[in-house]
Structures are given as structure tokens and as C-alpha cells.
Amino acid sequence: MDLSVKPGDDFYTYANGAWLKANPVPAKETRWGSFNELRDFNIKAVRTILNDAAAKTNAKAGSVEKRVGDFYAAGMDSATIDKLGYTPIKADLERIKGIKDVNGVLNEATYLRTVGAASPMFGFYIGQDRKNVENMVPQLSQGGTTLPDRDYYLKNDARNTKIQEAYKTYITKLFTLTGVDKATAEKNAETIFNLEKKMAEAQMARVEMRDPYKTYNKFAVADFSKTTPNMDWKSLMAKMKVTGQDTILVSSPKFFTELNGLLTSTPVADWQTYLQWNVLKSAAPYLSTDFVDANFAYNQALTGQKVQTPRWQRMSSLTDGTIGELLGQLYVAKHFKPEAKARMDEMIANLIKAYEIRIKGLDWMSAETKEKALAKLHAFRPKVGYPDNWKTYEGLEINRNTFFQNVRNAGQWGFNDMVSQLGKPVDRTKFGMTPPTVNAYYSPVMNEIVFPAGILQFPFFDPNADDAVNYGGIGAVIGHEISHGFDDSGSQYDKDGTLRNWWTAEDLAKFKEKAAALASQYDAYTVLDTVHVNGKLTLGENIGDLGGLNAAYEAFKMTKQGKSKKKIDGFTPDQRFFLSWAQVWRANTLPETAAQLIVTDPHSPGQYRTIGAPVNMDAWYKAFNVKPGDKLYIKPEDRNKIW
Ligand SMILES: [Zn+2]
């Protein structure tokens, strides 16, 4: 803490000042905060598991340990990887050279995704139909670009121009590493950038994509194909192993009509270059050192990271990201405590109880809408720790000396696994995050809140800490995920997860007005020089924080400590609650990374998450004696109150 600062002037520095000074961003990182510290702790735990598994040479063939150990060991064998250079993708690059026409382009674009090699041109996946959630349906989304957001192609300010140049250098470098002469490689970079720029122009903006109705466009497959005469989706889907489907959901139809035009207006030779690039960029992190270094140089321009993340850490993350439910079994056996789950179950129940009290007490909502909101609240399905049924990755081949092929095999296995969900009942047991993940989520179509084992540790959760600390930490996280069910997007889904309005017109208008006021509050926060938080992009997360912290506080006040005034270390229970919240969000961030996150991240930066919700809570003013004249002071009637 920095006790020289008045909490009412700068609560973030008051709660975190000493820590922020003592903990600059390590050279191999892009930000450093509570999340990163716990992630670092978890990845080290994972490393030990992986090293043990890899060293166990007598592990039974086909066992979890053997497969996980082999995957990791293959990734750590940099001598073999370096010897191969770009051999693992030579055949792909050659095959693409043989493409003769638009059909050949589309054949390749679909083939690459079925073998886990790349996802060029557009997004394709199988997911729940959000207006009919018991059905899994094929879905198309915009895509085709490489830079983190369409703005990077379209806005030519100094920051973006520098990144565009770094991107072109990266493209040039990867082509030259495959034997292409420098002049041709530079020409390729221009071709790729210009083609991707056209796709970026066709994309919807990130804020627009938050509208679940605008992005819900259901077509008969034949009708959709009529809007894209160069792309016959029945045959394209068959090439992606999907047959017998009459309908398709499209997030942004305009993107596909533009892509359809680009298919014939762009020379086939340019598409070949583009497809080769897609193979190259997807493969680069798994090829020899010169490819990995080029990839890092590009990332460095985006994020400002000083030195490459060590190989063991990249390979631990990769193992988690590709065969996470094999690794997860070993992680959970060692690090998940059943008593943590029991405590979590109890806290979730208390948060739901608090939320119920708050919904019943809302002064702006009619009884009719309240009844629907309560029905939705009581239909929430919480999941804690890890899935009941582990994925077995049956048929996925992993060998100790074929690193690149292992990664490809995992991609291919993932694609087949996704397609196999068509025509089957929705699997409600699955987790969208792996067990060591330090995060949590709400799924509107499942109406579920999910907390992986990884986040159930200090500083979010500590079974030995007082309730103030736990309710200000994981309690607020639970409240945040519940609130996603009632944010600007989640509130449009009903208790069954269906996208269907359950609000009266009057209540909905009031909710939108309250949300707009909250968006303005965050719009006023500055991050870097002239860069502001985007209140509309971060609205869902900010409603999550505001609703979540209020509900966590309400639940905390029901505990014995919440009712007492007994100080610990000189702080009252209420002060400890808000300090715990503030310390969860402490972080130092590199300026380059901060600039990227403002464009791409729906979460507000930690410093504003720290104060954004408390400055709207009367209890915070009382706890820290915040008075008119203090910099963070907001008049009681102007405080944002939603849930
Ligand atoms: Zn969230």
C-alpha cells in the first residue's frame, strides 16, 4: 500500500502503491499483476508435472503421463526442431504453388483447417444455435486478417504505422527463410497486407459485434450460397467434413459478400501468396529458432515485450492449450483441494442469495421483469474446478520425436472433435477453460458460471484468510460472472440460454439508460496520452464488476465478520473487503501492450477496474471516509447503480 495517498484521491495507489513500485514488468512479460503472479505460480507447477512425466521413461504406452510427457519432451527438443528448419511445411508450400483457379484456392482454404494447419479467409465452427440452444449448428464468422484488430489496418496514426511496418518485415522475413529472394518476399508482404486490409474493411467493428441480434443471421445453406456465387457452401462444408446440414448461422453476411467479390477480383497468384502466408504464420512458433525469433520480433513490436519467453514456459502453455484435459488430470490430482471446492460451493450459494435480495430490492424494475430475472438467476449452473468427464483425445497420435506433427495432429483432432458434435445433444459437462487457467467465465447459451481450479488460489481465494479478503477477491469474481448474465449482452438471453427478450419495454429502456451512464463513466478514463477506455467495448465487463462487487459486498455483510467492526492489521472488515478487491487488480503494463488492449480487450485496465465499481458504492465512501473535494468523489445521486 501507499499510506501517504488519500484513498478518496487515488484508491488504486493507496491500495497498491508499494507493490506497483517494487514489481516492474519482468523482461519476459508484457504485464505484471495479481493474475500474472498466480499464472506464473501455476505454470511452474505445470512445468514440474511435465518434467516428471517426460522423465518417466517406463510410463505405460497410451497412459496420460506418457502422452503428456512425450508431447512436452518433443517440444523441448530444440536440437531436432532446429535441424528440420522449415521441412515440416515444405509440402504445404509446394502444394499451394500448384493452385490454378478460384476453386483451387477454396479447396486449399478448407483443407488447411481440416488438418489443423491454418484458418484462412473466414472463421468456421460448430456451436449452439442461440435461438434454439439444444441444437448444434455450423456457423461462419468474419476473419482472414492477422493484426489484432481491423483498426490496425485502417487507422494510420504513428503507433499503427510502426506496427504495420513491423508486420511487413515479419512477412518478408518468414518468406526469405523459406528460400524466397528478398525482393519477391517484400512484394509478397505488400500483397498480403493489401489483401488483408480489404478483408479488414469488410469486417464489422468490435463494438458492433457485441450485439447478439445483429450477429445472428440464419440462412438456408442454398440461400446463403446465392449471396456468395463464388462460394457454394454445401460443397465447401462437405470439404470441411460437414454434410446433411440445411441451415447455417452467419455473424456478418456483409463480410462474405465482400470476400466473394475479392475471390475473383484478386489474382489467383495473390491468393497463393496469402495461403502460403497462412501456413507460414501458423507454423512459425513451432519451427526452427530463426522462425521463432522472427515471430517474437513481430510480437515485440505489438506488445513491447523485452525478451523471449523461455522455451519451457512456451511449451508448458502449448501443452495446456492443445491437450489441456490430459495435463489437467495430472494438475488436478496434485493441486486441487476438495476443501476449496466445498468452500467455493458455499460462497456461490451465498452470492446467489445476495443477488436475489438485490434483484428484489431494485427500485427501477417492475415486478414482472424481476420475476424473469429471478428465474434466470435460479437457473444458473455453477461449475467448479474441472470437468466431470475428461476428454480422452482418443486417436490423437503423439510421438516423442515429431513435435511439429504432434501440434498438427492436435489441431486436426480438435477440428474433428468439433464437427462430431453436430447432431448430438449439447454436452453440458464440458469446460471452456483448462484446469490450470487463472480465469473464470459465464456462457449465455449455457447459462453457466465456470471457475477452473487455477483461480481458486491466493490472492483470489485463500481458505485460511478472513471472509473480507475472500469476498473482495473470489466473491467479487463470482458476482462478476453472475452479472454477465445480466450485462448489456447477457441480459438478452433468457433462463434457458435462448436469445429471447424477457424484459418489459419500459424496464429495458431504463436498463439501457443506466448502462449508457456507466459507459460514459469509463469513457472518461485515460490510459496513455490521448488514449481513452472505450466505454461501449468494456460495458459488459464494467456491468460485471459493478454488479459483482455490490453482490459480493451484500454477501459479505451476511457473514460474522461482515457484521462485526473488529479490525485486523488496523483495518476494518469493510476496508479489508475493498482493499482485497483493489489488490486483485493491481498490475504494471508495458505501454505498447496497454495500447493494444484498449483496442482489443473488452475488460477495462486494472487501475480503472479497481476504482470503477467502488466509486459508485456508498459503502466504499463510508469505509474510507471519502468526502466532497476528494478527487474520486461522486455525488450520491450521480453514482451508477444497476444490479
Ligand atoms: Zn468478465
* Confidence band of 275 (pLDDT split at 50, 70, 90): very high
Identify the residue whose cell numbers are 504406452. 61
CB-based contacts of 196, cutoff 8 Å, min separation 6: 144, 145, 146, 147, 153, 274
Per-residue model confidence as pLDDT tens digits over 569-608: 999 999 999 999 999 999 999 999 999 999 999 999 999 9
User: How much distance in Å is there from the Cα of 497 to the middle of ligand 1?
Assistant: 17
User: How much distance in Å is there from the Cα of 537 to the middle of ligand 1?
Assistant: 12
What pLDDT, on a 0 to 100 scale, did the predictor assign at position 216? Answer: 98
User: How much distance in Å is there from the Cα of 476 to the middle of ligand 1?
Assistant: 11
Percent with pLDDT over 90 in the chain: 98
User: How much distance in Å is there from the Cα of 541 to the middle of ligand 1?
Assistant: 5
Query: Regarding beta strands 217-220 and 132-141, do their DSSP bridges make them parallel or antiparallel, or are they unpaired?
Result: unpaired
Per-residue model confidence as pLDDT tens digits over 477-526: 999 999 999 999 999 999 999 999 999 999 999 999 999 999 999 999 99
What pLDDT, on a 0 to 100 scale, did the predictor assign at position 596? Answer: 95
User: How much distance in Å is there from the Cα of 602 to the middle of ligand 1?
Assistant: 8
User: How much distance in Å is there from the Cα of 42 to the middle of ligand 1?
Assistant: 21
> How many CA atoms within 13 Å lie on the side-chain side of 125?
10
* Confidence band of 529 (pLDDT split at 50, 70, 90): confident
Nearest to 589 by CA among 193, 12, 8: 12
> Before 591, cis peptide (omega within 30)?
no
Rounded to whole angstroms, the Cα distance separating 123 from 215 reads 13
Q: Which residues surround ligand 1, an ion (CB under 5 A)?
A: 541, 544
How many distinct helices (H) and strands (E) make up the chain? 28, 11
What pLDDT, on a 0 to 100 scale, did the predictor assign at position 281? Answer: 98
Is the per-residue pLDDT at 208 higher than 90?
yes
User: Mean of the per-residue pLDDT values for the chain?
Assistant: 97
CB 26 within 8 A of CB 307: no
User: How much distance in Å is there from the Cα of 389 to the middle of ligand 1?
Assistant: 25
User: How much distance in Å is there from the Cα of 488 to the middle of ligand 1?
Assistant: 12
What pLDDT, on a 0 to 100 scale, did the predictor assign at position 407? Answer: 98
CB contact burial 152-177 (16+ within 10 A = b; e otherwise): bbeeeeebbeebbebbbbbbbbbbbb
User: How much distance in Å is there from the Cα of 544 to the middle of ligand 1?
Assistant: 6
Rounded to whole angstroms, the Cα distance separating 550 from 556 reads 10
User: How much distance in Å is there from the Cα of 460 to the middle of ligand 1?
Assistant: 15
User: How much distance in Å is there from the Cα of 55 to the middle of ligand 1?
Assistant: 39
What pLDDT, on a 0 to 100 scale, did the predictor assign at position 338? Answer: 86
User: How much distance in Å is there from the Cα of 581 to the middle of ligand 1?
Assistant: 15
Q: Stretch 216-240: mean pLDDT, rounded?
A: 98
User: How much distance in Å is there from the Cα of 542 to the middle of ligand 1?
Assistant: 8
User: How much distance in Å is there from the Cα of 200 to the middle of ligand 1?
Assistant: 26
What pLDDT, on a 0 to 100 scale, did the predictor assign at position 333? Answer: 96
C-beta atoms surrounding 493 within 10 Å? 25
* Confidence band of 276 (pLDDT split at 50, 70, 90): very high
Per-residue model confidence as pLDDT tens digits over 148-173: 999 999 999 999 999 999 999 999 99
At position 167, the amino acid (one-letter code) is Y
User: How much distance in Å is there from the Cα of 540 to the middle of ligand 1?
Assistant: 7
User: How much distance in Å is there from the Cα of 158 to the middle of ligand 1?
Assistant: 31
Nearest to 349 by CA among 391, 380, 394: 380
The model's pTM is: 0.96
User: How much distance in Å is there from the Cα of 94 to the middle of ligand 1?
Assistant: 44
User: How much distance in Å is there from the Cα of 467 to the middle of ligand 1?
Assistant: 22
User: How much distance in Å is there from the Cα of 480 to the middle of ligand 1?
Assistant: 6
User: How much distance in Å is there from the Cα of 484 to the middle of ligand 1?
Assistant: 7
Is the per-residue pLDDT at 83 higher than 90?
yes
Is the per-residue pLDDT at 337 higher than 90?
no
CB 201 within 8 A of CB 154: yes
Is the per-residue pLDDT at 121 higher than 90?
yes
Is the per-residue pLDDT at 463 higher than 90?
no
User: How much distance in Å is there from the Cα of 373 to the middle of ligand 1?
Assistant: 19
User: How much distance in Å is there from the Cα of 397 to the middle of ligand 1?
Assistant: 36
Is the per-residue pLDDT at 50 higher than 90?
yes
User: How much distance in Å is there from the Cα of 444 to the middle of ligand 1?
Assistant: 12
User: How much distance in Å is there from the Cα of 441 to the middle of ligand 1?
Assistant: 6
What pLDDT, on a 0 to 100 scale, did the predictor assign at position 126? Answer: 98
Is the per-residue pLDDT at 21 higher than 90?
yes
User: How much distance in Å is there from the Cα of 530 to the middle of ligand 1?
Assistant: 26
Cα dihedral 52, 55, 56, 58 in deg (nearest 10): 170
Per-residue model confidence as pLDDT tens digits over 279-319: 999 999 999 999 999 999 999 999 999 999 999 999 999 99
Per-residue model confidence as pLDDT tens digits over 390-422: 999 999 999 999 999 999 999 999 999 999 999
User: How much distance in Å is there from the Cα of 481 to the middle of ligand 1?
Assistant: 6
Is the per-residue pLDDT at 443 higher than 90?
yes
Task: Measure the N-to-C terminal CA separation of the chain; round to a whole number of Å.
Answer: 30
What pLDDT, on a 0 to 100 scale, did the predictor assign at position 57? Answer: 82
* Confidence band of 530 (pLDDT split at 50, 70, 90): confident
CB-based contacts of 121, cutoff 8 Å, min separation 6: 109, 143, 144, 199, 259
User: How much distance in Å is there from the Cα of 245 to the middle of ligand 1?
Assistant: 33
